[in-house]
């Protein structure tokens, strides 16, 4: 049903092109996310992970 609607709006050619590009976009998005985490402050990101959050507790 969704494919029929998309065929009317976008066209079959562009849907087939999108299907071939989706795995590539997912891979580059993953690489970009990992690079962003790598080049930013690890502690800033890992504060949201519940198990690891306890390792960064400061004893003031």
Please tell me the predicted confidence (pLDDT) of residue 6: 77
5: alpha, beta or left? (left if phi > 0; alpha if psi -120 to 50): alpha
Half-sphere exposure of 55 (CA within 13 A, CB side): 10
Q: Locate 58 and state its tokens.
A: 């400061």
d(CA 17, CA 14): 5
Please tell me the predicted confidence (pLDDT) of residue 51: 67
Please tell me the predicted confidence (pLDDT) of residue 54: 62
Please tell me the predicted confidence (pLDDT) of residue 8: 83
- Extract the residue ranges of the chain whose pLDDT is less than 70: 51-60
- Residue bearing tokens 């960064």: 56
d(CA 33, CA 19): 22
């Amino acid at each position: 049903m969704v494919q029929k609607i998309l065929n009317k709006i976008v066209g079959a050619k562009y849907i087939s092109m999108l299907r071939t590009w989706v795995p590539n976009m997912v891979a580059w998005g993953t690489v970009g996310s990992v690079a962003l985490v790598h080049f930013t402050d690890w502690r800033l990101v890992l504060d949201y992970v519940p198990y690891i959050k306890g390792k960064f507790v400061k004893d003031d």
